[in-house]
């Protein structure tokens, strides 16, 4: 797997779990887009991939805002050590 593929996989994994942390979704998405835009300017990161990630990120941003997960019941919270 190339480093570009690994980066794409990492960025997609980040986007996949954003609904678990809705408070930071805007910052995380903005950071992903900023990093990929910078990569596109300094390396041969495929433009079509950048656009696809931007579209997916914006769709996830809207989905998280419009459909937040219900609060986790006390029983599923991590135990205090």
Mean per-residue pLDDT for 2-18?
72
Mean pLDDT of the chain, nearest integer: 74
Tokens of 34: 């900023």
In order of 2, 32, 66, 68, the CA distances from 19 in angstroms are 28, 15, 11, 7
Q: Taking a C-beta distance cutoff of 8 angstroms, is the pair 29, 64 a contact?
A: no
Per-residue pLDDT at 44 exceeds 60: yes
Mean per-residue pLDDT for 58-80?
71
Give the predicted TM-score (pTM) of the model. 0.58
Mean per-residue pLDDT for 19-39?
79
């Amino acid at each position: 797997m190339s480093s570009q593929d690994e980066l794409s996989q990492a960025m997609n994994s980040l986007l996949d779990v954003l609904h678990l942390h809705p408070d930071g979704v805007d910052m995380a998405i903005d950071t992903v887009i900023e990093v990929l835009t910078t990569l596109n300017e300094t390396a041969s990161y495929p433009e079509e991939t950048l656009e696809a990630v931007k579209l997916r990120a914006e769709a996830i941003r809207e989905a998280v805002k419009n459909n937040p997960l219900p609060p986790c019941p006390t029983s599923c919270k991590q135990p205090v050590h």
